[in-house]
Structure 1
Amino acid sequence: MFNKFTTILQQAVEALAPDAPLHEDFVYHWKSVTNFYIENTDDKTPVSDSNIPSHLKQMLQILIQEEDEREAGDTGPCMEYLLQHKILETLHTLGRADCPPGMKQQVLIFFKNLLGKIKQPLLPHINVHRPVSRLVQVCGEVQAAPTEVEEISFLCTVCARLKREPHLINFFLGNEQAKAADKTKSPTETNHVSESSSSNETQPKEGYDLVDSLLNLSRSEDGRVAVKACEGLLLLVSTPHEAAARATVQDTALCPLLNTRLTNLFTALPTSLDPTDVDCVTVKWGLDSHSYSHSDARNFVGKRALVSFLSWFDYCDQLVMEAFQDCGDFIAQSIAENFFAKTLLGPLVQADERASLTTTAVLAKLFSMVRSKALTRKMINFVVGESQSNEDSCPTLLTQILSRCDHFSDEISIVTLRLFEVILFKPDSTAIDSLILRYLKDRAYHAKNPGNVVIQSSDELEWELEPGLDNPDPNSPTHSTPMKRSTSNTDIDNTGEAPNPKMLIQRSVNCFLSVLPDTAKSTQVNDDESGYDGYLREAHRTYKEICSTCREFDWPKPRNDILQAADRCQPVAVYNEGPFLTMLFNKLSSVLSQPYAVNLIVTSLASRLCLVPHPLLQELFANPLTPLRPKARSIFSVLQGVVEQITHRMVHVPNFKQRLLLARRKLAAGNEDDSPAHKTNSQMTSSLSGGPGVVANSNSDDHRTFLEGAIVLEEFCKELAAIAFVKHHAMAIHGL
């Protein structure tokens, strides 16, 4: 009480007294601090009961005022006094001893404000950077310390200062114990150690106390402190200083901490998570506390654990994305080796279907979240394998995952197909290159490939013309007529000249629209409810998005007049479409026998591949006019096979047309606002995901799966026609 009264009286006297020179005032306040230790023998009195906090605050205000009154870069007498009398060294000693109790907190506040509010460069002075560096070491020493908030505030201020002045980081790099040991060694010992180190080709660890302190505080039970510590690490990793960035990721416990926490949070996830719940969770690092509440209508068992895991993964991804130079690659490699390969791989391949289902759903979610290029590449390599030297080889993990696309459990098949859909359309060409393009690069599927000895014997081949190809009128009856078809997709004009782009667009669109007979359709192309216009709009939007994603890929541009196979292809005698295309074409061939939900994800994946702006995918997926060698498959040839199945089976279904229309109405009942015909497959997945529940009352209908498959195929053909139009038009008009 007496000390507080003295403080109030002192402030009143100072207010009434004439202003003293800043230097004298500064010296007075500092001597008042030191006099406290001379006059007081009770070291248990809290610092809050003394005048020390007030004097330190006044000293800081004087320094700020002095700097404001002088020219930039001009050091005033008060700052000179602080530097020459090693005031910061003294304060560090008092703070480390925490004498009187609470002094550490006051010292941290003073240092933080000094570095944050004084604009002139202070850290180059040895009497500043040395006590600051020593105070950094004190932070995080004690877990759950009462000064955690002040410690993290001080550390983040130091990080921000170093971010602005990265050349000063050298003052904070290195291990002081190692330096002291080096000083005590004789020159002979030093030379011997140097020679030994160079012979072993080992680099001594730098040591980075600032990172170590932040890592300690990142384990704090106080969420605010932990988040601020992670923000400080982000600042240090992104600082443009090669030695510091390397020391941060290689010479500290940063990477082990990232992987350990990822592992612990992942193993805490329940194995019974619903894939839909996993996909619907939206998280952002640092805001995970706002993503979960007990009143949340979307709560489910394990959501808290899932949000924590995904939030920490988002932070790891942010670190990789912000890291300086090659440090992001180092962090990504560490996560790939220590988390994905050692922790996630086991549950992903184990026989327990529930665990593998949850793990696959979580992996798909991680792929949808990852943004950094380095971590994306490592994750893709984890799934598809890094080695591409042997085209006949397929990594074991990829083989297992591909086999699950045709699992007897529809839920596992859907989640696995969803995983590939997310992987293939990340802004990285590795997945498409490894899974598809490396098998197509020689164009061995093309009828005029020089390796195709059957085609080499003749310039023309007997083909069975696809229905509607000979007549561009979509309303004309569909039929199959044997005729001579040129093996070049450009030589299809009777005049012998290559058709103009408009003709190519028309013929390609008509191929898809007329491949299914009118008798097997639930809508007519010219009907307002056919949905074709909706597919055109959606294809245009999605194509722009995919082109934007693939813009940085080193791919040639697709062209309508794709290069002549005989001139530009290497001879290939055997065509191998690869395990992924084999799986995809097999799933498309099974549309009539697969559940509705499986068909949606299969056709969604196929349609998105049709939109990829690569010449080979354009030729094999989106161009129905491409001539194929025997036994080679394309999207259009697979559709022809399915249509043939429909024409054979529909005659055995009583009242086929009426049942088909009824099945369509039942599927459309899942969305009252819009018809499924106006949805892309991905949109239909959400709006008609209740499809099985909607049509559950038709279980007595033995032909339900067949009818729903026919409807999916019909909508898929419309979507492919829209894609063909959009891509051909873009190539003809804009050269995309």
Structure 2
Amino acid sequence: FARSANFRFFVAVMEPQLMQTSEVGILSSTALLNRIIRQVTSEALLQETVYFLLGEETGPETPAGITQHPLRHRLIEHCDHLSDEISIMTLRLFEHLLQKPCQHILQNLVLRCLEERNYTENKQPEEREEREHMENGQPHDAVDLEEDPLFSDLSPDNRLSSPDWLSCSPPPSTEHTKPDGKTEVHKIVNSFLCLVPDEAKSSYQVEGTGYDTYLRDAHRQFRDYCGVCQRWDWRSSPKPFEKCNLDSPFFEGHFLKVLFDRMGRILDQPYDVNLQVTSVLSKLSLLPHAHLHEYLLDPYINLAPGCRSLFSVIVRVVGDLMLRTHRIPDFTPKLLLVRKRLLGLEPEGMSIDHVTLLEGVIVLEEFCKELAAIAFVKFHASASTSP
């Protein structure tokens, strides 16, 4: 029955609907697919549905191979569609997929890209120093902030021209790593909590919006995920570097690429889009897989040249934020007012300028607190189960 449903319904009916260019048609067919995914309980039917949507590939993904399965490619592209409604609906589809008890979904979308840990640079300090031979006091591959358009309009007397605002971004280091390879959890938690600068925070002025509110949710959700994933025999610690092919080029995968790209635009996207993007990323962060945990939740990993992680994407957003906030008059009062309106504590009144950016800042602050809570809960769960 499952295979028959695949050919007679999914391939014959759903695929043309999902591949069409009409926005109304895409939206209605994606909404229907969402409903189907949520309702499917048969393991065989779920597998056929997943193969239809994502294909059967489990090997490393390459930039040239992202169109290998046209429907998968189209659906992931729809997560970054010009229509916000289509983007939200498709992101919701993937969020539902990530919660299904099917290992292939996670392997196909993200895990196969992280298998060799080649997002890291596993070199000894002396090797790294030799590779980064110093030229004019800077590594040969260092980014000159003065040449970077993000920093080009900083004046010498501007307080933001000091690199202090980047101090929340931990330097690549092994000092904070314990012998078992785990970074001390309080440093990770603080890295996320301190990522958004104090002048861009507003939750401390509103009761009931502290970091601790995320701990209960993270604990419950992580427990649920562990219940789903425990039969998949995932390793509890990262694959040893000596067994990894670190020389192979790293590609984060089409799915993570789109999510990171959208995360990088959080200050310029509608509030509802941002909520859905961060919701999908938090679901991925909750998964009890060592490589996914390392890539998404450890700010201290030594990223290989040209690679980005969730933390590095957020650092970049914070840099953009710091450049833009000082140009907005009465930034802090406006930020607090927008937060209160979102919470229903203030009635809608006069329109506020830069509201998209202000809402983006609020989502960013909340997301960093959520990631901190997830990191804390996962660490203590692993510590309690360690021999």
Deviations 1:343-362 (A, max 9, x none): 11111111221121111011
Deviations 1:91-110 (A, max 9, x none): xxxxxxxxxxxxxxxxxxxx
Counterparts of 2:233 and 2:321, CA distance in 1: 41
Alignment length (residue pairs): 356
Counterparts of 1:713 and 1:483, CA distance in 2: 15
Deviations 1:58-105 (A, max 9, x none): xxxxxxxxxxxxxxxxxxxxxxxxxxxxxxxxxxxxxxxxxxxxxxxx
* CA RMSD, 1 decimal: 3.0
Unaligned runs of 5+ in 2: 144-163
1:631 matched to 2:309? no
| 1:484–1:339 Cα change, 3 Å | closer
Partner secondary structure for residue 232 of structure 2: coil
Q: What is the Cα deviation at residue 458 of structure 1?
A: 7.2
Per the normalisation by structure 2, the TM-score is 0.84
Partner secondary structure for residue 300 of structure 2: coil
Whether the aligned pair in 1 keeps the contact of 2:225 and 2:286 (CA below 8 Å) is yes
1:112-511 correspondence to structure 2 within 5 Å: 331-389=1-59, 391-392=61-62, 393-394=65-66, 395-448=69-122, 457=131, 479-480=165-166, 485=171, 487-488=173-174, 491-492=175-176, 498=179, 504-511=184-191
1:579 matched to 2:283? no
| 1:505–1:411 Cα change, 3 Å | same
Whether the aligned pair in 2 keeps the contact of 1:485 and 1:492 (CA below 8 Å) is no
Partner of 1:105: none
Counterparts of 1:563 and 1:597, CA distance in 2: 37
1:614 matched to 2:289? yes
Partner secondary structure for residue 530 of structure 1: coil
Whether the aligned pair in 1 keeps the contact of 2:98 and 2:283 (CA below 8 Å) is no
Counterparts of 2:268 and 2:285, CA distance in 1: 23
1:516-535 correspondence to structure 2 within 5 Å: 516-524=196-204, 529-535=208-214
Deviations 1:361-412 (A, max 9, x none): 1101111111111111111111111234573323111111111111121111
Partner of 1:725: 376
Partner of 1:514: 194
Deviations 1:659-718 (A, max 9, x none): 00000011000x89xxxxxxxxxxxxxxxxxxxxx86x55x4330000000000000011
1:661 matched to 2:312? no
Q: What is the Cα deviation at residue 498 of structure 1?
A: 3.9
Unaligned runs of 5+ in 1: 1-330, 465-477, 673-693
Deviations 1:328-351 (A, max 9, x none): xxx211111111001111111112
Partner secondary structure for residue 71 of structure 2: helix
Q: What is the Cα deviation at residue 435 of structure 1?
A: 1.1
Paired residue type of 1:576? F
- For the pair shown, the structure with the greater C-alpha radius of gyration is 1
Q: What is the Cα deviation at residue 571 of structure 1?
A: 3.0
| 1:530–1:499 Cα change, 3 Å | farther
Counterparts of 2:111 and 2:129, CA distance in 1: 23
Counterparts of 1:635 and 1:482, CA distance in 2: 14
Q: What is the Cα deviation at residue 638 of structure 1?
A: 1.0
Q: What is the Cα deviation at residue 484 of structure 1?
A: 10
Counterparts of 1:421 and 1:482, CA distance in 2: 30
Between 1 and 2, higher relative CO (CA 8 Å, sep ≥ 6) is seen in 2
Counterparts of 2:279 and 2:293, CA distance in 1: 16
Deviations 1:187-237 (A, max 9, x none): xxxxxxxxxxxxxxxxxxxxxxxxxxxxxxxxxxxxxxxxxxxxxxxxxxx
Counterparts of 2:229 and 2:239, CA distance in 1: 21
Per the normalisation by structure 1, the TM-score is 0.45
Whether the aligned pair in 2 keeps the contact of 1:448 and 1:456 (CA below 8 Å) is no
Partner of 1:540: 219
Q: What is the Cα deviation at residue 582 of structure 1?
A: 0.4
Counterparts of 2:322 and 2:369, CA distance in 1: 18
Partner secondary structure for residue 524 of structure 1: helix
Q: What is the Cα deviation at residue 530 of structure 1?
A: 3.1
